[in-house]
Structure 1
Amino acid sequence: MKELFSYCWRSIVDRGMFVRYVVACFLQALLGLATPFLVGSAINSLLAGGAGAGAAGVLCALVAALGTSSALAGYRGTLLYTYLQADSSFQLDVTATMHIQRLRPAFFEGFDPSFWRKRLDTDTNDLTVFFLQSVTGLIQNGGSLAVTVAILAAIDWRLSLVCAALAVATGLLYGAFGERIHAANSDFMEDLSGYSACMLSQLRDAPFVRRHSLFGWSESRMREAYTPLRSSMYEANMVGGRFSLASGLAGAVALGLLLWVSVVEVSSGRMAAGFVATAYGYFSTMTSSVESLAGFGHDYQSARVNYEHLRDLAAEPEEPRGEAVPEHVGEIAVEGLTATHPGSERVLLGGLTHTFERGRVYGVAGPNGCGKSTLMDVLTGLLEGCRSGRVSYDGVPLESVDQYALRERTVAFVEQAPEMVKGTLRDNVSLLAPGADRVEAERLLRRLGAERLVREDGLDRPVTGGDGGLSGGERQKVAIARALLKRPDVVVLDEPTAALDEDGRRDVEELLRTLRSDHVTFLVTHDDGLLAQCDEVVRLVE
């Protein structure tokens, strides 16, 4: 338990806000506890008659004032809780997501982003809610029990014992159902996560479904995910309903016993009649507190599942990473290089040995599946742990290189189907070099034949995510521009002319002549015309 609470505590960004939240919640509970006692005292004053009516009026005004203060404290606590819950959940979410992005390639074999998105949503939110509510709940409910028992004991010790005994009995009833409620809800949440992941994937795959008219297949997938969810939902509600029924029956019996004891105490003169209302109010408070405390263990077990999910994820090993950061790369050497992809036994690259030098353009050619993209991934550290042989940057082994810094500063990729980010054209062009000069960005786009993009709306043109509302050729030009804008030593171009027309192709050929002077340039392509522009062609075989 200490481990779980410590984990949650580290996710609280504003500790001062957390303290204010706890104080507000505890103050609300204490102010609320005064109400039943004051109501009973007011009734006693009214029954006394005479001057007691004036005292009853004062007590009624005090009840209103305390109730108002309690409501204000609750309102303040709600506002603080909103920020605390959102910030803590976000902190856990960011930590988990950033960790996933750095995991070994094997983790992503069969990776389902929709499942992980739903699972992280559930685990981070539920764990944060448990932590915030359990801390205040333990303080509020423990304090409420102690205060109510003390006040009732001061009024009538026999009534105090009866209230406590009946409240504990009602709480034990909750404990008897708690394990079944927890198990049923756990099954329901697991099925709900699977169902939500399935529905998300169907929305994500809508273009694929439409293209092939796979509507029947899509519906069957959704029905397969819904069937277990329907059963677990019914089971959870049935168990919860049975508990509510038993709790209602037990509460009714307990309340009858409490009122009977109160009548006996009033009749014997040991208690003023007005405190019957006080006993009734405190019995409800005590029962609620006992149920909450009894349910803490089950809530903790549920939160433990969320915590273990996140802990197991955090235990997944990240990619190996060195510390060296190559600068002004002169050559990249490979010796006896082979590679495999996670989950596959197929060996690629066939023990490749080669040296790639600055100032030269290297074409990488071969049939589909021969390992062209794999070679680029290996050279830039994306498949560390999935290769054998030696790779070095200016004599420094790749395993000693900080691969993230390598791809951030030294290597620039231009993908075959580049993604656009939501924002402006400038955001996209300067994505890899946030401090880049606007004039230089425009110059690069013009040089690549993207004059229309610059001329029509300039770099302030809005761009949506995905294809960004741009044609394939325009996206290719934006991707090339943003790669060059960060001034890399190594440039990787993957089928850069696939979406370009003849003019765009000529622009890329001209670009290659410029890159040759001061970069190690790799050109992955099937285009024989582009290969002819290279200084050397590395042909891979299956």
Structure 2
Amino acid sequence: MKIFKFAKKHIIKYKFFIFLFLLSNIVSWTMSILLPYITGTYIDLLLKFNSMKTVGIFSIELLAIGIISIITSILSNYFYIKAQTNAMFDLNAHILDHVKKMPILYFNDKDSTYLNQRINSDCNTITSFVINSFPNIIINSLTLIVIFCVFSKINIYLTLLLLILIPVYLFIYKLFERPLYDYGYEYKESQSSFFSQMDEQLYNIDLIKLNAAFDDSSQQFRNSFLEFFPSVLKYSKISYLFSSTDSMMRIASQVILFFFGGTQIINKKLSIGQFTIMSSYFNMIMNCISFFLNFGKSYQDALVSYNRIIEILNNPKEINGSRKLESINTIELYNVSFSYNNSSTIIENFSYEFNKGKIYSIIGKNGTGKSTLAKLILGILIEYYKGKIYYNDIEIKDLDLYDTRKKIIGVSEQEPKLMSDTILNNITYGLNTYDYRDIDMFLNIFNMNIDNFKNGINTNIYESSNNISGGEKLKFSLIKTFLKDPDVIILDEPTSALDTNSIDNLINILQKIKKDKIIIIITHNQNILNIADEIIDTSYSFNSNSPSFVK
């Protein structure tokens, strides 16, 4: 089965816990099998001998079975949680690793909350299904075999009568198989979208408050629910019909058992104790048959999740070569063209060479491709451009860009993204080594008094919280970039939220380090432009073969 094959490598790591889960289930199952037989035998012995000794022995046996059942149930649950939670994390991590290496434009029309909810929900469904299936199939198969053997020894006619139920159940499953899959898929998709809308309401709380858009946001949320609700009804309806059919079969089977069982007792072909055994075992048989019936439903749910995950994994990863660089001396763009989704061309036949030892400033009107140029240089848009881009005369499609960006390229964005972590972990994010003295130096250069934060450099900061300003975020991003000491530095509007003193200090740093760097700055700040060796104006440059102005 493809679901088992897919999940196997993430689950097999925890085979020890799965074995203990199976073992505890078998012990618990043994107790459940023994209890009806002991109970029926006890009734017959009590009617025959009327002895207190019989009562005492049965009570001790019942107590022992109860204690063992409770202990094994606790252990079973513990081992299951250990295996399932770890396996789910592994599968989540595997998919997330793939998603993080997919081309950047894939995410343009994707909602992160939707993707997160979808991946987490589907991984949970698959791992739960696979880990539960193996022990449950074994236990329920053993139950059917053992009980039918017991039944055949007690009364062969009732046994044959109950065997007829199996093909009936198979017919019921085939009847519901396709609707369960279709409605389950629709339900999971709409559920992911609904929770995405719910998260967006909280994420945009500042926007809602600033515009007092409480009614509008509430109506938007209601509309999202109205789109979600029909899929809930359809899935609930088919699930309820499925379970109701199972219940009707149970009732019909119970009637058959009691009618024919009562007839056998009256005709002296069955004792009351034997009937008690068969009645108890009959309920266990029905539970087993019901399990296999519902296993089909669970399989359809897991199949939906599997197909949704495969749909994500079938998206190819972005290009990343194998050649590694120790340093970058030149970056050359040759006849580079780029457009988003086949829309109007943003960059056309652009050629330029960036050399170590110079500061380059990129200026231009909004939407003329300043940030796009930076992304092209970084290889972020590697799948989408035409032309050639070289680092040290090596085409970037042949380079291990992950290694290059990690080690020798530093970037500070206009609106820096922060991790939900401490200040220290944010400014050292992605760095293998760093010196606390350098951190203190850069904090002083950018006028960051770390003592203003509750726990100093170990204060937790959050992207959407109010415990950090836009200027502080920008300064932390700049500190992280300079702390890395890369060969190539790309800064996007680095002065947009800085005070005058910090801007002056930034300029001093850039002039001091430029000898050994390629520094590219997107900016309109005149002080930065004054120290630039060359200026590229994207308002004119990107439709010709040379920049409009070279300083």
TM-score of the alignment, normalized to the shorter chain, above 0.5: yes
Note the alpha carbon deviations across 1:231-282, whole angstroms, 9 max, x for none.
3333444444445555444433422321232233333333332111111111
Determine if contact 2:14/2:87 at 8 Å carries over to the other structure. Answer: no
Secondary structure of the corresponding residue to residue 11 of structure 1:
helix
- Cα drift, residue 159 of structure 1: 3.0
Q: Is structure 2 residue 42 aligned with structure 1 residue 42?
A: yes
Q: 2:378 aligns with which of 380, 395, 404?
A: 380
What corresponds to 2:56 in structure 1? Answer: 57
Output the amino acid matched with 1:17: F
Output the amino acid matched with 2:156: W
Note the alpha carbon deviations across 1:65-88, whole angstroms, 9 max, x for none.
123212221211111111222112
Q: Is structure 2 residue 353 aligned with structure 1 residue 355?
A: yes
Q: How does 1:452-467 map onto structure 2 within 5 Å?
A: 452-453=449-450, 460-466=457-463
- Cα drift, residue 37 of structure 1: 0.6
Note the alpha carbon deviations across 1:119-144, whole angstroms, 9 max, x for none.
11221111111112222221111111
Q: How does 1:157-172 map onto structure 2 within 5 Å?
A: 157-166=156-165, 169=168
Distance 1:145 1:515, change over 3 A: same
Q: How does 1:435-446 map onto structure 2 within 5 Å?
A: 435-446=433-444
Counterpart-to-counterpart distance in 1, 2:497 and 2:119 = 37
Secondary structure of the corresponding residue to residue 417 of structure 1:
coil
Secondary structure of the corresponding residue to residue 418 of structure 2:
coil
Counterpart-to-counterpart distance in 2, 1:293 and 1:270 = 32
Counterpart-to-counterpart distance in 2, 1:261 and 1:115 = 55
Note the alpha carbon deviations across 1:471-500, whole angstroms, 9 max, x for none.
333322221111121221101111111101
Distance 1:497 1:422, change over 3 A: same
Distance 1:78 1:512, change over 3 A: same
What corresponds to 1:282 in structure 2? Answer: 281
Distance 1:292 1:502, change over 3 A: same
Q: Is structure 2 residue 134 aligned with structure 1 residue 135?
A: yes
Q: Is structure 2 residue 512 aligned with structure 1 residue 514?
A: yes
Note the alpha carbon deviations across 1:386-419, whole angstroms, 9 max, x for none.
1122211111111111111111111000111223
Secondary structure of the corresponding residue to residue 280 of structure 1:
helix
Which stretch shifts more, 236-245 or 207-216? 236-245
Note the alpha carbon deviations across 1:200-231, whole angstroms, 9 max, x for none.
22222332333334444423332222224333
Counterpart-to-counterpart distance in 1, 2:169 and 2:515 = 83
Which stretch shifts more, 100-109 or 159-168? 159-168
Q: How does 1:310-321 map onto structure 2 within 5 Å?
A: 310-321=309-320
Which stretch shifts more, 316-325 or 226-235? 226-235
Q: Percent of aligned pairs with the same residue?
A: 21
Tell me the TM-score normalised to structure 2 length.
0.91
Note the alpha carbon deviations across 1:151-206, whole angstroms, 9 max, x for none.
22222222333344457656755665565555544443333222222222222233
Counterpart-to-counterpart distance in 1, 2:350 and 2:451 = 43
Q: How does 1:49-128 map onto structure 2 within 5 Å?
A: 49-50=49-50, 53-128=52-127
Output the amino acid matched with 1:355: E
What corresponds to 2:415 in structure 1? Answer: 417
Q: Is structure 2 residue 28 aligned with structure 1 residue 28?
A: yes
What corresponds to 1:486 in structure 2? Answer: 484
Output the amino acid matched with 2:346: L
Note the alpha carbon deviations across 1:485-526, whole angstroms, 9 max, x for none.
122110111111110111111111111111212111111101
Distance 1:358 1:185, change over 3 A: closer
What corresponds to 1:432 in structure 2? Answer: 430
Counterpart-to-counterpart distance in 2, 1:172 and 1:288 = 17
Output the amino acid matched with 2:187: F
Counterpart-to-counterpart distance in 2, 1:344 and 1:182 = 36
Determine if contact 2:427/2:479 at 8 Å carries over to the other structure. Answer: yes
Counterpart-to-counterpart distance in 1, 2:491 and 2:81 = 47
What corresponds to 1:533 in structure 2? Answer: 531
Counterpart-to-counterpart distance in 1, 2:247 and 2:100 = 50
Which stretch shifts more, 18-27 or 230-239? 230-239
Counterpart-to-counterpart distance in 1, 2:192 and 2:173 = 27
Distance 1:336 1:248, change over 3 A: closer
Q: Is structure 2 residue 225 aligned with structure 1 residue 230?
A: no
Counterpart-to-counterpart distance in 1, 2:384 and 2:377 = 12
Counterpart-to-counterpart distance in 2, 1:386 and 1:274 = 77
Determine if contact 1:329/1:393 at 8 Å carries over to the other structure. Answer: yes
Tell me the TM-score normalised to structure 1 length.
0.93
RMSD: 2.4
Output the amino acid matched with 2:380: L
Counterpart-to-counterpart distance in 2, 1:491 and 1:229 = 47
Distance 1:32 1:216, change over 3 A: same
Counterpart-to-counterpart distance in 2, 1:234 and 1:100 = 32
Counterpart-to-counterpart distance in 1, 2:508 and 2:294 = 71
Distance 1:180 1:363, change over 3 A: closer
Distance 1:305 1:160, change over 3 A: same
Secondary structure of the corresponding residue to residue 20 of structure 2:
helix
Counterpart-to-counterpart distance in 2, 1:223 and 1:302 = 27
Output the amino acid matched with 1:509: I
Counterpart-to-counterpart distance in 2, 1:304 and 1:280 = 36
Secondary structure of the corresponding residue to residue 320 of structure 1:
coil
Output the amino acid matched with 1:37: Y
Which stretch shifts more, 27-36 or 455-464? 455-464
Determine if contact 1:18/1:84 at 8 Å carries over to the other structure. Answer: yes
Secondary structure of the corresponding residue to residue 332 of structure 2:
strand
- Cα drift, residue 455 of structure 1: 8.0
Note the alpha carbon deviations across 1:434-479, whole angstroms, 9 max, x for none.
43111121112212332x2268778534031216723333322221
Secondary structure of the corresponding residue to residue 531 of structure 2:
coil
Which stretch shifts more, 257-266 or 370-379? 257-266
Counterpart-to-counterpart distance in 2, 1:391 and 1:172 = 62
Q: Which runs of 5+ in 1 are unaligned?
A: none
Counterpart-to-counterpart distance in 2, 1:499 and 1:296 = 58
Distance 1:77 1:538, change over 3 A: same
Distance 1:179 1:49, change over 3 A: farther
Q: How does 1:135-154 map onto structure 2 within 5 Å?
A: 135-154=134-153
Determine if contact 1:491/1:519 at 8 Å carries over to the other structure. Answer: yes
Output the amino acid matched with 2:85: A
Q: Which runs of 5+ in 2 are unaligned?
A: 541-551
Output the amino acid matched with 1:9: K
Counterpart-to-counterpart distance in 2, 1:256 and 1:376 = 76
What corresponds to 2:546 in structure 1? Answer: none
Counterpart-to-counterpart distance in 2, 1:236 and 1:74 = 32
Determine if contact 1:413/1:491 at 8 Å carries over to the other structure. Answer: yes
Distance 1:179 1:44, change over 3 A: farther
Output the amino acid matched with 2:41: S
